[in-house]
Amino acid sequence: MGAITYINPSQVKAIVSAEVAPLLLAAGFTPIDPFKFVRSAKAPIREVVLVGFGKSDCSIAFGWCLSFVPHLQGEKVRWQRTEKSIRVFDVSRDPTNYEPRFKWPDWSVSMFNDEEGCRAKAKELARKVLTYETEWWDRINSVEEIIHLVLSLKEEDGRHFWLRELPSATADPRLCLCLHRASRGCA
């Protein structure tokens, strides 16, 4: 039996980020830090990509941040109005949770690899994630379209998109639409 090879988690995260960064930059994303990329072409909708590390693997998460949705930070109400201030998604889609054809190992890079294996898996993951997320982002050009997409998919089986849990009703897509309209001065 051979020795188990593994790479330090921070090194895996750096490798994954290095592979996905050029693809995201070419797609119009701005690197906020080595692990967070934001595209604001459809403001107040921001398309966000985060490279994160779990217990033993690295994955790429993606979703939308809506600048008018309030967030609680301690006892204060805050908004994610700038690219740098984004900390969480307001709406996200994880293919491993919602689509049976996708399995977690196909959407992550394990630390139990050698560096060459890690780079190969990271390249494959970066291309796969960008292809998948683009299918969703290209469908959305307005807040109303996000709300309608979330509501239509939620009605199908009740679990296609994750809406951030809030201590108030702002997790309801219809209320988010009302907040958006109010922030623009519309009735």
pLDDT digits (tens, 9 = 90+) for 14-70: 999 999 999 999 999 999 999 999 999 988 888 989 888 888 888 888 888 888 777
Before 44, cis peptide (omega within 30)? yes
What is the radius of gyration, based on Cα positions, of the chain?
Answer: 18
> Minimal CA–CA distance to 93: which of 56, 140, 58?
140
Q: How far apart are CA 6 and CA 149, in angstroms?
A: 41
Give the tokens for residue 44.
């107040």
> Minimal CA–CA distance to 97: which of 130, 127, 63?
63
**Residues in Cβ contact with 94 at an 8 Å cutoff, skipping those fewer than 6 apart:** 61, 162
Q: What is the widest separation between alpha-carbon atoms in the chain? A: 69
DSSP state of 120: H
pLDDT digits (tens, 9 = 90+) for 58-116: 888 888 888 877 777 778 877 777 777 777 777 776 666 656 666 777 788 888 888 89
What pTM does this model have? Answer: 0.77
Q: Could you tell me how far CA 59 lies from the centroid of its own chain?
A: 10
Q: How far apart are CA 18 and CA 99, in angstroms?
A: 27
Q: How far apart are CA 122 and CA 36, in angstroms?
A: 16
Using N-to-C axis directions, what is the helix angle for 9-26 and 115-137, rounded to 10°? 40
Give the tokens for residue 99.
């689509």
Q: How far apart are CA 102 and CA 159, in angstroms?
A: 15
What does the pLDDT read at residue 184?
A: 52
Q: Where are the domains of the chain?
A: 9-141
Indicate if the pLDDT at residue 183 is higher than 60: no
Q: How far apart are CA 148 and CA 168, in angstroms?
A: 20
Residue 45 contacts residue 66 (beta carbons within 8 Å)? yes
Residue 67 contacts residue 44 (beta carbons within 8 Å)? yes
